[in-house]
Amino acid sequence: MGSAPYRSLLPLLLSPLSLLPVVCGDCGPLPSLSRAEPPEDIRHKNSFPVGSKVTYRCLQNLSKIPSRLDTIMCLNNSLWSNLQEFCDHSCQSPPQVAFAKLSKEDEMKNFYAVGITVSYDCSPGYENSTAELPTSTCRENSTWSEVPELCHKQSCGPPTNPEHGTVVATDHLYLARAKVVCNEGYTLSSRVSFILCFTQGNGVAWTPLPTCQVSPSVTGTTAVANSTPHLEKKASENHYILPLVLIPCITGAAVIVAWSIKKCSASKKTG
Ligand SMILES: *[C@@H]1O[C@H](CO)[C@@H](O)[C@H](O)[C@H]1NC(C)=O
Ligand SMILES: *[C@@H]1O[C@H](CO)[C@@H](O)[C@H](O)[C@H]1NC(C)=O
Ligand SMILES: *[C@@H]1O[C@H](CO)[C@@H](O)[C@H](O)[C@H]1NC(C)=O
Ligand SMILES: *[C@@H]1O[C@H](CO)[C@@H](O)[C@H](O)[C@H]1NC(C)=O
């Protein structure tokens, strides 16, 4: 019961103490900035001694300009230091596109303010058909404008056919793949049955052309040539190509033998 009067007395006793720092060098409440706010926990504090430092944070949708200060200090004249506007509307990293890459100069930037325009160079394998190069601008709503597709795939030109074969190409542009098909009786010298239009130096060129070589067995020519493209991949990974080729051969031979026996007996009958 007797503690109640003391409790109400306590704030009265403490209030002069809380006013004390103001007397001997204090900057008072934090200044309010239009685009930034101080940390939540000290936002409503009324007293900051000389030497106090407070770091502000940009308001929602605004970002800190890297070169600017974001910390104020209570100076020895009991005034807060001044702060230049350090928050601005900005965009995230510029958009990435396959046909072009951000210029070195713009790539090094770490802040893209609203209104800034970045430029691109054509990616390897692409070229500009006009003097105009792609650009993008950081718009008012913090989004980048679309990067116009001003770089086009370079062409490798029509591929040359290998000796005893043909290249089946529908597209001659960068990253196009063309199938190499050998004439009957010939097989590819390598497992790679495609050529690719790829970067070479400053331009593009077809990857080395595989050659077509005479098939190892002349007798089974047609059968081997037809089955090769399908079995080729499996053959490189597995070792069951031999049974796969032999079984149809043996079966074929058996059929031929059976057929000739039948024919022989038939001709015997007629003869
Ligand atoms: C921040 O941006 C979002 C999306 O653009 C928007 O909905 C929101 O109102 C903005 N907030 C402020 C405080 O401007
Ligand atoms: C206040 O600070 C300034 C520099 O920041 C210094 O030149 C000056 O001597 C200081 N005054 C006092 C009273 O400490
Ligand atoms: C492509 O861009 C480069 C670099 O800006 C320029 O030198 C060249 O003339 C352009 N090509 C064409 C065809 O305009
Ligand atoms: C941003 O503004 C552009 C035009 O100013 C508009 O086309 C686009 O849809 C806007 N994006 C968003 C996310 O508001």
Q: Which of 35, 59, 61 to mutate to test the pocket of ligand 1 (most atoms within 8 A of CB)?
A: 61
Q: What is the pLDDT of residue 259?
A: 56
Mean pLDDT value of segment 2-7: 46
- The lowest-confidence range among 118-122, 164-168, 178-182, 243-247 is 243-247
Buried b (16+ CB within 10 A) or exposed e, 161-182: bbeebebebeebebebebebbb
pLDDT, greater one: 263 or 179: 179
Which domains are present in the chain?
23-88 (2.10.70.10), 90-151 (2.10.70.10), 154-236 (2.10.70.10)
Q: Does the Cβ of 140 fall within 6 Å of ligand 1? A: no
Q: Does the Cβ of 139 fall within 6 Å of ligand 4? A: yes
pLDDT, greater one: 267 or 144: 144
* Rounded CA separation 185/188 (Å): 10
pTM above 0.75, yes or no: no
Taking CA atoms only, the protein residue closest to ligand 3 atom 8 is 131
Handedness of CA 120, 121, 125, 129 (dihedral sign): positive
Mean pLDDT value of segment 127-149: 95
Phi, psi of 260 (to 5 degrees): -70, -35
Mean pLDDT value of segment 157-174: 96
CA of 134 to the centre of ligand 4 (A): 19
Taking CA atoms only, the protein residue closest to ligand 1 atom 6 is 61
Q: State the DSSP H helix or E strand holding residue 228, giving kind and residue range, or none if neither.
A: helix 221-237
CB 183 within 8 A of CB 170: no
From the number of C-beta atoms within 10 Å of its C-beta (0-12, 13-18, 19+), residue 253 rates as exposed
* Rounded CA separation 8/15 (Å): 12
Q: Is the pLDDT of residue 212 over 90?
A: yes
* Rounded CA separation 13/20 (Å): 12
Q: Does the Cβ of 135 fall within 6 Å of ligand 3? A: no
Q: Does the Cβ of 133 fall within 6 Å of ligand 3? A: yes
Q: What is the pLDDT of residue 217?
A: 72
Q: What is the pLDDT of residue 193?
A: 94
* Rounded CA separation 65/44 (Å): 26
CA of 131 to the centre of ligand 3 (A): 5
The bound ligand whose nearest atom lies closest to the alpha carbon of 154 is 3
From the number of C-beta atoms within 10 Å of its C-beta (0-12, 13-18, 19+), residue 85 rates as exposed
Q: Does the Cβ of 131 fall within 6 Å of ligand 3? A: yes
Per-residue model confidence as pLDDT tens digits over 75-85: 999 999 999 99
Taking all residues of the chain, what is their mean pLDDT, rounded to a whole number? 81
Q: Is the pLDDT of residue 233 over 60?
A: no
DSSP classification of residue 152: E
